[in-house]
Amino acid sequence: MHHAVLAVLHPEHVEVEIWRADALEVRRGLSSELDEMWSFVQAQAHPRWLWHAIDHQTGKVLAYVFGRRKDNVFVRLQKLLEPLGITKDYTDGWGPMSGISLPSSIT
pLDDT of residue 34: 84
Domains of the chain: total: 1
Asked if the structure places residue 8 within a domain, the reply is no
Mean pLDDT per segment of 10 residues, for the chain of length 107 residues?
77 75 62 84 86 83 87 85 77 57 52
pLDDT of residue 54: 87
Asked if the structure places residue 65 within a domain, the reply is yes
Asked if the structure places residue 49 within a domain, the reply is yes
Query: Domain residues for 86?
Result: 29-98
Closest CA to 63 of 39, 85, 94: 85
| CB neighbour burial string for 10-25, b if at least 16 within 10 angstroms, e if fewer | eeeeeeeeeeeeeeee
pLDDT of residue 49: 87
pLDDT of residue 65: 94
pLDDT of residue 26: 59
pLDDT of residue 93: 66
